[in-house]
Structure 1
């Protein structure tokens, strides 16, 4: 069995978490990556698509499709960068803000299960996960 391996267990948790989040967000017409985009745009309006892709763990072409679909759904609006160029800065619309509020409640239920499971060790577990990710990221070759 693979359950003694960190990577296997973390991947199992991630896949299960994503499935539950997608289930909870489906009634709002959102997926987990779309929810992440709403959160990121609320915190950093105008963030570049490439940075959105990095922070949501999808490829830039996938992010372009996500942003275009969200724009068509009226959740965000893109405007030309005031500094010129081809970059379009995205910002939440009123509907995007409304949907983010509802989605945050749906996600909180899923996150609550994780917090309950972690108990008093929650902060330690989060710190360890972050540090482990940073260390593994630092091992990149080239």
Structure 2
């Protein structure tokens, strides 16, 4: 909470934070039994238990703050050399992967866009679900395509 108080004491109006879809996992309609019922719960409740517990605490503190805030919950992150035509959705996005470039671009865009902002806790009813997820892609491109894109970005060549 001291970090949030510090931000407020510097007259910062907006706070956008990155959390994870793993904080409140939902089954994916295009995923099978193994992913939804075994892998996802194992990652969020066993392997990443302390990580996701910390993110839940962060979200609770942010929601209780006096700042206008947005919590972004990207799905699994992967590399793309440039920003795509990503979308932000309120609630749960169907895509299981988010490009890091899209996450960065969306965070910067959110600072000037109040559509996904939640006013301080006393200003509006808590019925709105403010967390957003970047749904940039349903799945990452094949490894060979990612390698080609990374080489092109490194060397400055196209094609």
What TM-score do you get using the length of structure 2 for normalisation?
0.24
More helix by share: 1
More strand by share: 2
Larger RCO of the pair (alpha carbons < 8 Å, separation 6+): 2
